[in-house]
Amino acid sequence: MRRAVKLARLLTRRPWRLGLRRGVAAAVEHANALRTLDAVTVIDVGANRGQFVLAARALLPGAHVHAVEPLAAPAEVLHRVAAALGGITVHRAAVAPERGRATMQVPARTDSASLLPVGARQTRVFPGTHAVRTETVRTAPLADLVPSAVLTPPVLLKLDVQGSELDTLRASTHLLPQIDWVLCECSDVELYAGQALRPAVEAYLADHGFQPVRSDNAVTHPAFGRVQADVLFARYAVSASSPAAESAASAS
C-alpha cells in the first residue's frame, strides 16, 4: 500500500490516530478481511508492536484482543497501545508446542523476527531482514496464555509468526475447536530454514475443520512467483453462510 494512501486511511479512525501518536501504524491492509467477520474475541499471535491489534480494535470495536508477543522491545510498545485503547490483554511469550525458552533471530525490523534461521530467499525478497541479534524468549502452548474459559465466540486467531505457522497451530490444537476463523500469513516458498509451506498449513487446518475462504496481500517476486499471502480460513459450518465465504472465490 502506498505510504501516502495508507497515512490518509490511518487518520480516519480514532484507534489508528492513537496508534500513530505512539509510533505504530495500524495494519489497514487487513481491513477488507476484518470487515467480513463478527469476531468477539481476537487472538493475535505475533502481535509485534500492535499493528494488527489497532486494525482489529477499530474494525471489531466490541471484540477483546489477546495480543501475544515474545520480544521485549515491541512488547513494551504494545503495552502502551493496550493502555491507550483498552480491551487488550498482552501476553509476553512465543507460542510453541513445548514450555520453556527459545532463541529468536531478530532483525533490525522486529516484525520479521523468527524462531527459525533466516533463509537466503527471505533476505532476497525482503532486503534488510537478516538477523542482527538474538533474544531468548519464553515459549508456551497457546492455552497456557489464553485459557479456553476466556474465549467468547466467535473467535478469530491471527498468526504472523515468520515461518513457525505449523508449529504455532500445533501448539494451539487444544483451542482450535473454539476458533471460528484463522487468519494466517502463509508462504509458498521457503523463507526460513525448515518452515512449513502453505499446503502443509492448509492440510493441518483442513484436518481440524477449516477451509480457505479468501487470500489478501499477496507478495510476488520475479524469481519465485507468489512468495506469500494472508489467508483467511473459516470453519466449514461457519464458512457456508459467512460474508467471508460469499465474498471470496478460492484462496487455494
pLDDT tens for residues 121-144? Answer: 999 999 999 999 999 999 999 999
Task: Give every CB contact of residue 93 below 8 A, 6+ residues apart in sequence.
Answer: 68, 70, 137, 138, 139, 140, 144, 145
- C-alpha cell, 32: 477488507
Q: Among 194-198, 237-241, 247-251, which range has the highest average pLDDT? A: 194-198
Residue 237: the pLDDT is 59
pLDDT tens for residues 13-22? Answer: 999 999 999 9
Please report where in the chains the cell 465465504 appears, as a residue: 245
CA-closest candidate to residue 232, choices 194, 207, 205 = 205
pLDDT tens for residues 202-215? Answer: 999 999 999 999 99
Domain ranges of the chain: 3-93+143-247
Q: Which residues pair with 225 in a beta bridge?
A: 221
Higher pLDDT pick, 10 / 244:
10
Residue 83: the pLDDT is 97
- From the candidate CATH numbers 3.40.50.720, 3.60.150.10, 3.40.50.150, 2.40.50.100, the one assigned to the domain spanning 3-93+143-247: 3.40.50.150
Per-residue pLDDT band at 1 (split at 50, 70, 90): low
CA-closest candidate to residue 180, choices 42, 27, 11 = 42
DSSP state of 137: E
140, 92 contact by CB (below 8 A): no
Q: Which residues pair with 46 in a beta bridge?
A: none
